[in-house]
Structure 1
């Protein structure tokens, strides 16, 4: 998951994402950050995350992001 953490740190370097269990509720990511995150994950892993999968629960924690990537055949 370190690659995902690196992407998150590039988007919002002021936060320590490894200490949060809900990035959205904790105010670490807003909707624009999620759009940026989707784009960066697409580029980094060579995938295309479908609009139907862009839900807060998929991006609110490292576990959620990891599970989503696994659905796309990626092992981060």
Structure 2
């Protein structure tokens, strides 16, 4: 999880990814940020995030993103 937080900070260093649980719902992350996060995940974890998984629930918190990564790694 620490590694993921560091990667997310690389995308947006002005966001507290450690505690925020409404990143998409409150408009903290915009669509460009999410595309960047998906690219970072693809590069760092060598997985492809399917378009069907790019939904607010999967990107509202670092924990949700972490769970998405874990799920995709298991598939």
> Scaled by the length of structure 1, what TM-score is found?
0.86
How many angstroms does 1:8 deviate by?
Answer: 1.1
CA distance in 2, matches of 1:52, 1:2: 26
Detail structure 1 runs of 4+ shifted over 2 Å in the superposition. Answer: 25-28
Per the alignment, in what secondary structure is the counterpart of residue 58 of structure 2? Answer: helix
CA distance in 2, matches of 1:26, 1:37: 17
* Consecutive unaligned residues in structure 2, runs of 5 or more: none
CA distance in 1, matches of 2:26, 2:18: 12
Q: Does 1:3 align with 2:3?
A: yes
CA distance in 1, matches of 2:52, 2:26: 24
Q: How large is the RMSD of aligned CA atoms in angstroms?
A: 1.4
CA distance in 1, matches of 2:25, 2:51: 21
Say how many residue pairs are matched: 74
CA distance in 1, matches of 2:15, 2:63: 17
Per the alignment, in what secondary structure is the counterpart of residue 64 of structure 1? Answer: helix
